[in-house]
């Protein structure tokens, strides 16, 4: 074979960070390994989902590209029009549809701008930059919340989309309804605001924003939801957006055909049909989250509130040291450079071992001076 000629990819490829997927724990003699690195549901899906997988036969048939049955079931469940729902391969698929529909590069080379908080979900820069748009990252406040004033101040004539992640992955805090309403008064009507609610089921804070209520009042708001987290269907890849018809008409044009398989669609419906069992699993995760947050506070560790199935340890320079210590206890957790560590709420034994690890760790995060 001849020396391969370089086949040049689009220049944007050199600007994409790699998505670092959470890894399983390396085995340690005598310890059950736990994966606390991808915000997965430790209890898995409800039994009715397993029954769907076992019964499923139409593997050689293409799925319904519109996921009609799931959208109708969701419409009933959420009390919204099924017309306003567009499904995707996970909410990541739904997010990609929205961003690529509204933001990119113009023929004269100017780029649309997409604003989001940082640090937030690590897929955002990949999705925005690969669409050809310019991402504007607005730093979180000192207490790891979205700085909505600074995000509003970052809006320019080129801003097309703003992504708001609540509760925020990886730091945990949720925005209040009042904060989001006040923010929306500063956003031009022709800018689409995406409320990414991947963790909405885990919220217990009474004044946290209800994104569906916000979407009902504002034509320029879209909501992202997923079956990956609370419903425990991460591997089946099913999520959706909720927005108004003047938005969904374009999303349907751009959506990847057949992105949601019939088996994923039927599993999602089965999960909604057994929502009480899903809620029991969520309640267990929430109760464990509270135990972990209380345990960390008892150790004197200063960590932000979390309304998701995760906790954030702002360990700064000691992040790599903590990752190693976790590895020695067969716990896979997710480190972000020298910023901090995100730990998923897992099985009871995993959370207990995590708290013990923190108790044994030389020094936790202390309040910023």
Pick the stretch among 8-16, 86-94, 151-159, 354-362 that binds ligand PLP (CB under 6 A): 86-94
DSSP-derived secondary structure letter, 40: -
Q: How far is CA 264 from the centre of its chain?
A: 19
**Which of 228, 241, 248, 261 touches ligand PLP (CB under 6 A)?**
228
Q: Which of residues 94-123 bind ligand PLP (CB under 6 A)?
A: 121
- Tell me the C-alpha distance between 190 and 160, whole Å: 7
- Please report how close the Cβ of residue 233 comes to ligand PLP at its closest, in angstroms: 8
Tokens of 144: 């790891």
Tokens of 35: 């994966």
- Tell me the C-alpha distance between 117 and 40, whole Å: 23
Is the CB of 21 or the CB of 369 nearer to ligand PLP? 21
- Please report how close the Cβ of residue 198 comes to ligand PLP at its closest, in angstroms: 4
Q: Print the binding letters for residues 17-46 with ligand PLP: x by CB under 6 A, - otherwise.
A: ----------------------x-------
User: Does position 125 bind ligand PLP by CB under 6 A?
Assistant: no
For the chain, what's the residue count? Answer: 369
- Tell me the C-alpha distance between 193 and 340, whole Å: 28
Pairing of strands 239-242, 310-313: unpaired
Close Cβ partners of 301 (under 8 Å, ≥ 6 residues apart): 313, 358, 364, 365
Is the CB of 179 or the CB of 196 nearer to ligand PLP? 196
Q: Say how many residues touch ligand PLP, by CB under 6 A.
A: 14
User: Does position 87 bind ligand PLP by CB under 6 A?
Assistant: no
- Please report how close the Cβ of residue 368 comes to ligand PLP at its closest, in angstroms: 25
- Tell me the C-alpha distance between 322 and 325, whole Å: 5
105 burial (CB, 10 Å; 0-12 / 13-18 / 19+) is: middle
- Tell me the C-alpha distance between 166 and 172, whole Å: 8
User: Does position 70 bind ligand PLP by CB under 6 A?
Assistant: no
Pairing of strands 85-88, 34-35: unpaired
User: Does position 248 bind ligand PLP by CB under 6 A?
Assistant: no
**Which of 42, 45, 90, 365 touches ligand PLP (CB under 6 A)?**
90
Pick the stretch among 88-96, 246-254, 286-294, 327-335 that binds ligand PLP (CB under 6 A): 88-96
- Yes or no: say if 268 and 331 are a contact pair by the CB < 8 Å rule: no
**Which of 70, 165, 194, 230 touches ligand PLP (CB under 6 A)?**
165
- Please report how close the Cβ of residue 37 comes to ligand PLP at its closest, in angstroms: 12
- Please report how close the Cβ of residue 140 comes to ligand PLP at its closest, in angstroms: 14
Q: What is the DSSP string of 55-92?
A: H---TTSPP-TT-HHHHHHHHHHHTS-GGGEEEESHHH
**Residue nearest to ligand PLP as judged by C-beta position:** 90
**Which of 25, 46, 85, 92 touches ligand PLP (CB under 6 A)?**
92
- Please report how close the Cβ of residue 153 comes to ligand PLP at its closest, in angstroms: 23
Q: Which of residues 259-318 bind ligand PLP (CB under 6 A)?
A: none
User: Does position 159 bind ligand PLP by CB under 6 A?
Assistant: no
Q: Which of residues 166-225 bind ligand PLP (CB under 6 A)?
A: 169, 196, 198
Angle between helices 319-328 and 348-360 (to 10 degrees): 130
Is the CB of 200 or the CB of 266 nearer to ligand PLP? 200
- Yes or no: say if 173 and 306 are a contact pair by the CB < 8 Å rule: yes
Q: Which residues bind ligand PLP (CB under 6 A)?
A: 39, 90-92, 121, 165, 169, 196, 198, 226, 228-229, 234, 239
């Amino acid at each position: 074979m001849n020396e391969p000629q370089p086949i040049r990819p689009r220049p944007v490829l050199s600007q994409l960070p790699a998505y670092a997927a959470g890894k399983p724990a390396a085995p340690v003699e005598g310890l059950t390994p736990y994966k606390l690195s991808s915000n997965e549901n430790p209890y898995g899906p409800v039994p009715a989902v397993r029954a769907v997988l076992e019964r499923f036969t139409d593997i050689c048939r293409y799925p319904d590209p519109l996921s009609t049955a799931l959208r109708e079931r969701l419409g009933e469940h959420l009390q919204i029009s099924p017309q306003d729902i567009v499904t995707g391969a996970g909410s990541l698929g739904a997010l990609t549809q929205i961003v690529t529909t509204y933001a990119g590069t113009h023929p004269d080379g100017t780029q649309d701008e997409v604003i989001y908080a940082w640090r937030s979900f690590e897929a955002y820069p990949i999705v925005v930059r690969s669409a050809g748009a310019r991402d504007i990252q607005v730093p979180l406040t000192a207490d790891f919340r979205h700085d909505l004033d600074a995000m509003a101040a970052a809006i320019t004539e080129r801003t097309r989309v703003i992504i708001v992640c609540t509760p925020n992955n990886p730091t945990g805090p949720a925005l209040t309804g009042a904060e989001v309403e006040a923010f929306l008064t500063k956003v031009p009507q022709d800018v689409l605001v995406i409320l990414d609610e991947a963790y909405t089921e885990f919220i217990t804070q009474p004044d946290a924003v209800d994104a569906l209520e916000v979407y009902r009042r504002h034509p320029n708001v879209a909501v992202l939801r997923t079956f990956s987290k609370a419903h425990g269907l991460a591997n089946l890849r099913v999520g959706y957006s909720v927005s108004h018809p003047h938005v969904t008409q374009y999303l349907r044009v751009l959506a990847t055909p057949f992105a949601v398989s019939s088996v994923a669609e039927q599993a999602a419906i089965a999960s909604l049909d057994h929502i009480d069992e899903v809620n029991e699993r969520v309640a267990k995760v929430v109760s464990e989250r509270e135990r972990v947050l209380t345990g960390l506070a008892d150790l004197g560790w200063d960590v932000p509130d979390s309304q998701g199935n995760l906790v954030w340890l702002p360990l700064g320079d000691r992040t790599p040291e903590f990752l190693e210590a976790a590895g020695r206890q067969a716990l896979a957790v997710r480190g972000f450079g020298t910023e901090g560590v995100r730990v998923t709420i897992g099985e009871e034994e995993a959370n207990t071992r995590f708290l013990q690890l923190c108790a044994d760790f030389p020094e936790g995060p202390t309040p910023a001076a």
